[in-house]
Structure 1
Amino acid sequence: MKKTLLLLYVLLSFQSFSQIHIDANTPIYNGNGDNYDGPPTPPPLIPYLKLNTIINNEFTRELKLIFPYEATDGVDSDFDVKNMDGDYPQDISFWIEDGDYVIQGLNFNLSKKIPLSVKAAVSSKFKFYISENDGFDDGQPIYIYDALYKSYHDIRNTPYQVVVAPGKDTGRFKISFTNNATLGTNNAVSSTFFISQDNKSQVLNATNPNNKIMKSFWLYDIHGRCVISKDNLSAQQNFSFSTSGLSSGVYLAIFITGNGSKITQKIIISNSGN
């Protein structure tokens, strides 16, 4: 009899547990009896880009540039992969510490220029374009800088084709994220809420003309780290946050409204010297 009652108790307990339903409105507890009210889940940013180069319409070399936080400007054995095709008469590689690489890891900075190494046994046509990227703002250009002509070409939108003279050249071409034009204010609109980055004053501004209640603000860098967080913003028409201590790069701004909805916007911060 006792065994029968025990079995019945277990079955009823399991049935009750299996009927628990958690949806978007179910409060989550932090173990102290309080509702969890932490930061939003960071964006799944694993930034990278792929540079494809068509050489003489015969061969396409794919180079991959990734941006892990731990990477340096030098050779990183955990990320960088050497170009082992040394016998190709025409080719292109990343140029790192006097070596040719097909994959390079780099800590992202908007002001960096990434050198490329090109070689050609004979005069050859090189056509550069970005075949794939992730973690970049839709409006962020990706340039090829051609030092021979001192020109920038946004290969994210339009391929750049040029003739390369015979020999090896490690100084002519670079990948760049700016074209030396001054980055001004980057504005975006989400309904009636306006987010902007003023790089001259090194301040992120948000305008809230309808006085919506804002619960919190979070700013994530391109690696998914929260670099600024503010709570209890209440209802104000204007919010300002200093970005003077942040490195130049792409960031994701997130405002949480009083009803729990999110307003997000990618911004570009350009701080001289960072």
Structure 2
Amino acid sequence: MRVRSFGSIGHRVPVIGQGTWRIDDGARAEAIATLRAGIDAGMTHIDTAEMYGDGEAIVGEAMQGLREEVFLVSKVVPSNASRRGVARACEASLRRLRTDRLDCYLLHWPGHHPLDETIAGFEDLRRDGKILSWGLSNFDVDDLDQALRIAGPYRIACNQVLYHLGERAIEHAVMPWCAHHGVALVGYSPFGSGDFPHPASPGGVLLARIAERHGVTPHAVALAFLTRFQNTFTVPKTSRPERAARNAQAGDLVLAEEEVAAIEVEFPRGPRPRTLPML
């Protein structure tokens, strides 16, 4: 599994991690087994959030005995993101996760609390050792500029955004901004939230052909494409241990230039949208 620097904070993190949105929809035992299989396969970056229902508690149970191996990320909802609210929300997440710290703590999306209050809350938690770093999610360039003005350089660990083959809007401005400022870019919903290319479609045929060449799945090809840049990571979610192992194959897959070019043609990034796409 390839690892790379997570922005400018010094951590080395696997390029392929594990998302946990709606992981509590299925059987709890299988969800835990899936997360553990992913950790065993090298996907030690686990992403969760306070709004993910029972997701944090499932992650906490899955991590027992493995906490030191995991790069753990959670998120605060904007309604809780006042300076004091961030502290309360973080303490609640730590209890559910059964740990004493987060490796990174994110603001889930821009909200109504002043951003300087949220960042001050993050810095309080960092000084207290409750979090080791903090970042953002669903932030467009204007919001990122504001955060940078408030926090200063080399404080924002990452920006987590929607990124899959059918939604490449971040490549216009958000991705270059993050690369320029030493901020890791983490793509969520890399399989398109149930809208992965159908095997019989032209795009599906292309992915299958590339996958066969490398002995991996079409999903692994998509993940390799999404992490082709040096500051990019992705956190696919699955509820099946065998699928977690197959997703992890993308961590060692480097696509040839002609394969990347073919995927870019089949799944064009399109024009820059007026607003940042998000789920």
- After TM superposition, the score normalised by the length of structure 2 is 0.25
**Larger relative helix fraction:** 2
- After TM superposition, the score normalised by the length of structure 1 is 0.25
Q: Looking at CA atoms only, which structure, 1 or 2, has the larger radius of gyration?
A: 1
**Larger relative strand fraction:** 1
